[in-house]
Chain A
Amino acid sequence: MSQTGMNRRQFLHSSGVAVAGTVAAVGTGTVLIDANGAWALSLKALDEHTAKTLVQLCRQMYPHDRLGDVHYAKVVEGLDGKAAGDPATAKLLTEGVAGLDQAVGGVKWLHLSDGYKLEAMKRIESTPFFQAVRGAVVTGIYNDPNVWRHFGYEGPSAEFGGYIDRGFDDLAWLQDV
């Protein structure tokens, strides 16, 4: 995660600024702001439409209703950062979203029904674009300690002395089966 992105979010959080679905130009970049003001994403390379589409695409690939968009947006922040340093990645992502927008009836993917969204994804699932985004979600979302509690995963234990006194053998419900 970029320091700029973090600062921007912290700023929004502390100042209570909540701008519904707003896009603001800041310097050369664009800031994507969540409709509820819960998070904001400073874009370095990608345009607003591409980034917005990618956030929802990430969610539809690995839909966890218990996770807010912010966790998917962080994956897109990573992809945007990569695109800023690598024109080939920027091209892959921008053209990939353009392709997704053409996959079903020429209707922009974000505007498709959930069923057609899935249909569009299936049509492009073997493309390098789709696989690049999919890989970024798999190694991004599930490797983010901020989401672990939503899955009941406690993660590292060595610094707490292991799980030896923290429930490694606390399972009791087997007596009931």
Chain B
Amino acid sequence: MAAKYDLNDDKVVVIIGSGAGGGTLGNELAQKGIDVVILEAGGRHEIEDFANDEWGMFGAISWLDRRTTSGSWRVARDFAGLPAWIVKAVGGSTVHWAGASLRLQEHEFKAKSVYGDVPGANLLDWPLTLKELEPYYEKAEDKMGVTGTHDIPRLPGNNNYKVMAAGAKRLGYKEFHTGNMAINSAPRDGRGSCQQIGFCFQGCKSGAKWSTLYTEIPKGEATGKLEVRANAQALQIQHDDKGKVTGVLYADKDGKQQVQKARVVCVAGNSIESPRLLLNSASSMFPDGLANSSGQVGKNYMRHMTGSVYAIFDKPVNMYRGTTMAGIIKDEGRFDPARGFVGGYEMETLSLGLPFMAAFLDPGAWGRDFASAMDGYENMAGMWLVGEDMPQEGNSVTLHASEKDQYGLPVPNVQFDDHANDLAMRSHAYKQGSAVYQAVGATRVIETPPYPSTHNLGTNRMSAKDKDGVVNKWGQTHDVKNLFISDGSQFTTGAAENPTLTIVTLAIRQAEHIADGMAKKDI
């Protein structure tokens, strides 16, 4: 039975956001007997509300509140009001994520030491090692049912995978398979196995894909220690004159302002809203924003080096049939500066339905050349390229000087320029992706530019020293003892891998730390 807490109950841990970070942390704390209130800005859409409808679900679950963009990235031109493609709903972006669950590599935690001085990059080593995280990665993979771990068989390869794998083999790549996916290949944890429906980005209709919406959250609620308040938009984190946070001002489902008191506040609103909330919580004691003595809140925004290659063959592929991202080539994930860039990238199968393909294949394009590519849809195969981008202090989430949202608060602006290393990596990735398909007879390959960011990282980064970042190795802010960051904005650097598994891993570990600190009355 889900709990219900009083607004004046100052014993609760308040978590802002219910996605990979917030939803996991909420359940983990509730399992330890800690009282938790999750404030979720979006509504609660259950599996039965999902539809195999790309635009319909986009309208229903995406974060579409006003945002602005600046900088030279192409997203600012093609999707000026939509820097990020993330979810505003209970479950957060775990509702629409693809399920790829990869551990970060050991050297990626030491980017500054290993990559050296990269001009223009604000690199830093994580105050964490892979070894420290390994036991928590184990727990996360078990919790999420990641294929290829814990003796869980991998998913079967669909047509899109078959084409990519054949090309990879021809090219001499060694490590390719259907991935480490948080999608059941066999029934597990009360959920069925993947029915190869496709439409992974529209909410999994079978529930085979892990999402906090129907795993962590109901499990947490069943303890009687977790209340999830949907349609509750956090506006400001409040503090006392000792500099400890005391509660969260939010707008409830009717737009009425409420304050939920709190013993501890954990921010997990994804890498745009989380720094925005800290900046919007500025006070006379924290004039530059809460927990921002370093000046790093909102800085070092990362979105992964991304791009896609779609290839057209002379025979049908029907890439949209089946799991969207169950296919990976890992050979380019390594550190090998001989390629002309630091960091690595992954190649992962990807397909879009016809409606989204028209919008994203080459945004803004029109005319016979574009139309002829769309005519080849049935014969198309596709992959996503995802790699480590360089943190740059100038890439940032800031408060807009004049534009306000429906609550009268400044909207966020997302500024981004590709680093030269990002461009060199993307060019290499496009060439290799094209080569994979050309090796098996592609008649045309298309280099598709980045979509609005799905991996938003780094804007409240983790650092050993308080002057270099916003949080310590536990996600606890350097400045405020009972304030934590619990999402991907903690990432010190981006690494090459899809970030969800690491966000879940950090949340499991953070829950232990918070429970321990509360028991010892440290927080």
By a beta-carbon cutoff of 8 Å, the part of chain A in contact with chain B is 61-64, 66, 118, 125, 134, 138-139, 141-143, 148, 151-159, 161-164, 166-171, 173-174, 177
18 CB < 8 A contacts A-B = A62-B370, A62-B371, A125-B366, A138-B358, A139-B55, A139-B358, A148-B354, A151-B354, A152-B318, A158-B205, A162-B206, A163-B197, A163-B198, A163-B321, A163-B322, A168-B156, A170-B318, A171-B318
Cα–Cα distance between A154 and B354 once the two chains are bound (Å): 9
Interface residues of B (CB under 8 A from A): 51-55, 156-159, 162-163, 166, 194-199, 205-206, 315-318, 320-322, 353-355, 357-359, 364, 366-368, 370-371, 374-375, 377-379, 440-441
Q: Assuming A155-B52, A155-B354, A162-B196, what are 13 further A-B pairs, CB within 8 angstroms?
A: A62-B370, A64-B371, A138-B358, A151-B375, A153-B377, A154-B321, A169-B162, A169-B322, A170-B318, A171-B162, A171-B317, A171-B318, A177-B441
Distance between Cα atoms of A147 and B166 in the complex (Å): 31
Asked, given contacts A61-B367, A64-B374, A142-B354, whether A168 binds B206 with beta carbons under 8 Å apart, the answer is no
B368 touches A164 (CB 8 A): no
**Residues on A with beta carbons closer than 8 Å to the beta carbon of B318:** 152, 154, 167, 170-171
CA distance A143 to B357 in the complex (A): 10
Q: A118 and B367: CB pair below 8 A?
A: yes
Q: Which among B166, B199, B353 is the interface contact of A158 at CB below 8 angstroms? A: B199
Closest chain A residue to B54 by CB distance?
Answer: A143
Complex CA gap A64/B371 in Å reads 6
Q: Is the interface of A mostly helix, strand, loop or mixed?
A: loop
Whether B366 and A134, one on each chain, are in contact in the complex, defined by CB atoms closer than 8 angstroms, is yes
**Residue pair B441, A169 in contact (C-beta under 8 Å):** no
User: Mostly helix, strand, loop or mixed at chain B's interface?
Assistant: loop
- Measured CA separation A167–B318 after assembly (Å): 9
The residue from B55, B159, B357 contacting A170, defined by CB atoms under 8 A apart: B159
* B321 touching A143, Cβ below 8 Å: no
**Interface-central residue, A141, A168, A174, by most chain B CB under 10 Å:** A168
How many angstroms between the C-alpha atoms of A161 and B53 in the bound complex?
16
A154 vs B159: C-alpha distance in the bound complex, in angstroms? Answer: 14
How many angstroms from the CA of A135 to the CA of B320 in the assembled complex?
A: 23
Per CB-CB distance, the 3 closest pairs between chain A and chain B, nearest first, are A152-B378, A162-B195, A156-B52
Q: Could you tell me the distance in whole angstroms from the C-beta of A22 to the nearest C-beta in chain B?
A: 30
Contact in complex: A138, B199 (CB < 8 Å): no
With A151-B375, A162-B197, A162-B206 as known contacts, state yes or no: A177 contacts B440, CB within 8 Å. yes
Q: Does the CB pair A157–B353 fall under 8 Å?
A: no
**A140 CB → nearest B CB, Å:** 10
Asked if A174 contacts B440 (CB within 8 A), the reply is: yes
Q: Assuming A151-B377, A177-B440, is B366 touching A168 (CB within 8 A)?
A: no
Question: Is there contact, CB below 8 Å, between B374 and A142?
Answer: yes
Q: For residue A141, which residue of chain B has the nearest CB? A: B358
CA A32 to CA B51, docked complex, whole Å: 35
CA distance A135 to B323 in the complex (A): 29
Given A151-B374, A171-B163, A174-B163, residue A62 in contact with residue B366 (CB < 8 A): yes
A138 close to B166 (CB less than 8 A): no
Query: How long is the Cα–Cα vector from A164 to B323 in the complex, in angstroms?
Result: 10
CA separation between A90 and B491, bound complex, in Å?
49
In the bound assembly, the distance between CA atoms of A146 and B394 in angstroms comes to 47
- Is the Cβ of B322 less than 8 Å from the Cβ of A168? yes
Q: Are B157 and A169 in contact (CB-based, < 8 A)?
A: yes
Residues of B within 8 A of A174 (CB): 162-163, 166, 440
Q: Are B197 and A158 interface neighbours, CB within 8 A? A: yes
A167 contacts B321, C-beta separation under 8 Å? yes
A-chain residues with CB within 8 Å of residue B354 when the two chains form the complex: 142-143, 148, 151, 153, 155
Most buried by B among A139, A142, A153: A142
**Closest chain A residue, CB of each to CB of B159:** A171
Q: Which residues of B contact A155 (CB under 8 A)?
A: 52, 353-354
Nearest chain B CB to A58 CB, angstrom units: 10
Partner of B353, one of A61, A64, A153: A153
B159 touches A169 (CB 8 A): yes
Q: Which residue of A lies closest to B322 (CB)?
A: A168
Instruction: Specify the chain A residue showing the minimal Cβ separation from B378.
Output: A152
CA distance A157 to B157 in the complex (A): 18
CB neighbours (8 Å) of A63 from chain B are 367-368, 371
- Give the chain B neighbours of A134 by CB distance below 8 A: 364, 366
Q: Are A166 and B371 in contact (CB under 8 A)?
A: no
Q: Chain B residue with minimal CB distance to A64?
A: B371
* Cβ-defined contact, A164 with B357, below 8 A: no
A168 to B317, CA, bound (A): 9
Closest to B193 in A: A164
Residues of B within 8 A of A62 (CB): 366, 370-371, 374
Residue of B nearest to A133 (CB): B366
Shortest distance in angstroms between B176's beta carbon and chain A's nearest beta carbon? 14
Bound together, the chains give a CA A159 to CA B357 distance in angstroms of: 22
Could you tell me if B320 and A153 are in contact, using CB atoms closer than 8 angstroms? yes
Inter-chain CA distance A124–B16, complex, in Å, is 46
Closest CB in chain A relative to B35 CB, distance in Å? 37
A119 to B162, CA, bound (A): 42
Q: What chain A residues lie within 8 Å of B321 (beta carbons)?
A: 154, 157, 163, 166-168
* CB closest residue in chain B, given A152: B378
Q: Nearest B residue to A130 by beta-carbon distance?
A: B366
Instruction: Considering the complex, give the chain B residue whose CB is closest to the CB of A142.
Output: B358
- Distance from A138 Cβ to chain B, minimum over Cβ atoms (Å): 5
Q: Chain A residues with Cβ under 8 A from B157's Cβ?
A: 169
Q: Looking at the assembled complex, report how far the CB atom of B449 sits from the nearest CB atom of chain A, in whole angstroms.
A: 16
Q: For residue B208, which residue of chain A has the nearest CB?
A: A162
Q: A158-B199, A177-B440 are in contact. Are A169 and B156 (CB under 8 A)?
A: yes
Contact between A157 and B166, CB atoms less than 8 A apart: no
* Minimum distance in angstroms from B23 CB to a CB of chain A: 24
